[in-house]
Amino acid sequence: MKKMRENSLSSFLSIANKYLEEEDLSSIHPITESINHLDRITESIWNILRTSSNGISSFHEISKDEKEEVKELRKSATNLMELIADSDKFPDLLEKARSEKKTKNLEKIKQNIYKSQMKRIKKGDSKLKSSVSYFVIIDELIDINDNLLSLAEELSVAIPWTERKKIELQSKSLLAFKTEEKKKKK
């Protein structure tokens, strides 16, 4: 997975070096950051899969409240992913992402979940063994949500810039093609 990411980033940067002006190279930061956020999201998903497969027997012991907390974070991540995938207007995407960030203060949610879990352990409603896997999954889901929010912010800058560069490069290509055609006619 890491190798694929490195290859795609390397290919992107070699294309950027070939076709972009010096001042444009500094503008590709949001694009490379978007790729990094996608990488971190993928890594978090792998960590969740690894944790749930390694501690699957302890997951049968998770309480209804714990399942609801995981479900809430998963739903939040799904909603953010749909927001990114379905957004036609990227300036609007940034506004939506920022409003999501305001309403979904991830650190506060994480602290509330941890406090609730500690209370469940003290009461005996939850076992420490299953809580370790549970905490790992909560951390990874929080990271996924945070990286999705950051990805939305980066894309709101990267996509319009990419569209402008695409038009600019196409017009340069068209101009070069017309010049080439004129030379052939002479």
| Region at 124 (left for phi over 0; alpha for psi -120 to 50; beta for the rest) | left
Residue 163, amino acid: E
63 phi and psi angles, rounded to 5 deg: -75, 170
Tokens of residue 37, six digits: 């956020």
Alpha-carbon torsion angle 131, 134, 139, 141, nearest 10 = -160
Tokens of residue 16, six digits: 């950027």
Q: Rounded to whole angstroms, how far apart are CA atoms 36 and 28?
A: 13
The pTM assigned to this predicted structure is: 0.67
What does the angle CA 125 – CA 59 – CA 40 come to, to the nearest 5 degrees?
115
Parts of the chain with a pLDDT under 50: none
Report the interhelical angle of 106-123 vs 64-86 (nearest 10°): 160
Query: What is the pLDDT, as a whole number, of residue 176?
Result: 64
Query: What is the pLDDT, as a whole number, of residue 126?
Result: 77
